Structure 1
Amino acid sequence: MGAALADPQPTLAQAKAKLEKLNDKADKVVDRYNTATERYKKAKGTYSSLDTSYKRKLATVADLRAQVAGMAVDSYKLGEDITSWPGIFGSNDPQGRLSGLAVAGQLSQERLQKLAAFDRENRGLKIERDKAQKALKAADKERDAVQKERSEILKLVAQQKKLLKKLGAYNPGNPNSTGIKYTGPASGSAASVLRFAYAQVGKPYVFGGTGPGGYDCSGLTQAAWRAAGVSLPRTTWQQWAWGQSRRVSLDALQPGDLIFSEGLGHVSIYAGNGQIVHAPQTGDVVKVVKLSAYGRNLVGAIRP
């Protein structure tokens, strides 16, 4: 029986075509991953804030509970009628019960205020606790979404690295790269943006990367514009939506403009003189290339 034939090796053109498809898919997954991460951070932050409020409220209630207990003890020592006190806390209408006791002269105004405060804080505590629990559930849901996206993207990254190494085109980059000097036509804020972006040249593309040792495409644009004092959202989709009122024609690009690919899977920075600086894909590094050689369909640009 003859030996089994091995699967034929793909041609260079076939491998590059497959790599391009993987890159497009990875761009979209990276953005979903980044979006899920941002949502998780927001949900977790909401929970942390409410949890702090809950603990603060809990301490207030504990203090009021101690005051109420002390009032009960004082009333007992003074021979006052305290048989109604349990009903105050078990009543469906404690505020009305308290008012009735005050009218009957069984409670001083000060005691009434303390007990009313006790009731209010208890009600507030429950509301805060319920909010915190809902926020935590939302955070857990977002965390699960992040993990699912992360698993998918790790598989894509492994495929890309394998293919790039087979092509002899894998570039691990240097997280400590000092980049290159920007000498283009930008001025003002755009010059600050491009000086920062050019200083990152040579650093590796890292999915979910926001620096300083590596970036994904929107992580680089966000960090570069932050260097100029402008706060951009985290993901490509969010940056495109944020810049809805700042969109400019691709025929009127100026240095510093953000250029988005079709499908919003990728974003780069226009550097002037027909060039862009961007973090391309896994296995590559932050680099400066000609816009004409970019090789992707473009959907538009925004000017932060």
Structure 2
Amino acid sequence: MPVAAGLAFGLVLTPMGAAIADPRPTLSQAKAKLEKLNDRADKVVDRFNTANERYKKAKSGYTKLNTSYKRKLETVADLRTQVVGMAVDSYKLGTDVTSWPGLVGTDNPDAALNGLAVAGQLAQERAQKLAAFDRENRGLKIERDKAEDALEAADKERDAVEKERAEILKLIKEQKKLLDRLGAYNPGNPNSTGIKYTGPASGSAAAVLRFAYAQVGKPYVYGGTGPGGYDCSGLTQAAWAAAGVSLPRTTWQQWSWGANRRVSLDDLQPGDLIFSEGLGHVSIYAGNGKIVHAPQTGDVVKVVNLSDYGRNLVGAVRP
């Protein structure tokens, strides 16, 4: 098996046939390997989140359509009862008075005219009910087909999510193993009360950063939306929700959502969302050259210098 960046921990054979462990990787080699794993995990986690969001949306759509389907079934059953009832009533009231023999043979012209009026009204109502019955039946078929399509889409998204989950779990295992060897794994504290924000933000941005700083020390959790742990976009979504702004769930969705809210990286203000190249990661600018973010597996929500941030940046969004 090839040695990748000096980080394959296998066995090599000595000329005497004895087996010894490969030397431990240097700190720089381990950090380089970890950086690659983190970058890869960022992208996979965001794909997982995106697939999961689409699944939930498809499932929600199916649930609504299925509810509508059941409602229409009840409507159709009710219409059928009404139509049958009208037919029975028509028979009991002798609406055959509208037939020519019935009209000519009656001894009471007023009764005949009254019968004709009643019959006409019943006929009109019957026609309207039957038309509604037909419309409901046609609508029922359309809604049922939509529900079936939505369910199929939901099943496909669920399968996609499971594949992404398996890949993420494998990556996380690799990350944890490497972090343990470096003595750098930080499990975090899900009950951390964080730190106080004392930066220059005001208004909505201040609310965002007070919330984000209160999460400092909580673990990074892929797919995490709080309160005990977060992934990067889960933190930004929750922080801006604290200021009354509803962001989409994933990094890609947040970047797309902010298409008309992009700002220059040279003009950052507290609360701005900063996106890394490849859109695998997002953080919140805190002012004074600082950012707060949920970095990656084995780490915690933290505040760091933007200048020390180890990823290339692609842009920023001001919600």
Q: Percent of counterpart pairs with the same letter? A: 86
Q: How does 1:1-304 map to 2 (within 5 A)?
A: 2-74=17-89, 108-304=123-319
Amino acid of the structure 2 residue aligned with 1:134: D
SS at match of 1:244: coil
Hey, what's the Cα distance between the residues in 2 that align with 1:4 and 1:287? 42
1:71: Cα distance to partner?
3.9
Hey, what's the Cα distance between the residues in 2 that align with 1:228 and 1:256? 10
1:144: Cα distance to partner?
1.1
Amino acid of the structure 2 residue aligned with 1:69: V
1:3: Cα distance to partner?
2.7
1:6: Cα distance to partner?
3.4
SS at match of 1:245: coil
SS at match of 2:140: helix
Hey, what's the Cα distance between the residues in 2 that align with 1:78 and 1:187? 78
Deviations 1:82-105 (A, max 9, x none): xxxxxxxxxxxxxxxxxxxxxx98
Amino acid of the structure 1 residue aligned with 2:36: K
TM-score, scaled to structure 2: 0.83
Deviations 1:11-46 (A, max 9, x none): 322222111110000000011011111111111111
Amino acid of the structure 2 residue aligned with 1:281: Q
Amino acid of the structure 1 residue aligned with 2:220: Y
Hey, what's the Cα distance between the residues in 2 that align with 1:64 and 1:251? 66
1:76: Cα distance to partner?
6.0
Hey, what's the Cα distance between the residues in 2 that align with 1:294 and 1:170? 19
How many residues are aligned here? 282
Larger radius of gyration: 2
Unaligned 5+ runs, structure 2: 1-15, 97-118
Amino acid of the structure 1 residue aligned with 2:282: V
1:74: Cα distance to partner?
4.7
Hey, what's the Cα distance between the residues in 1 that align with 2:125 and 2:253? 54
SS at match of 2:260: helix
Hey, what's the Cα distance between the residues in 2 that align with 1:254 and 1:114? 63
TM-score, scaled to structure 1: 0.87
Hey, what's the Cα distance between the residues in 1 that align with 2:174 and 2:162? 19
- The range that moved more, 256-265 or 114-123, is 114-123
Hey, what's the Cα distance between the residues in 2 that align with 1:37 and 1:140? 11
SS at match of 1:277: strand
1:8: Cα distance to partner?
3.8
Deviations 1:273-292 (A, max 9, x none): 11110000000000001111
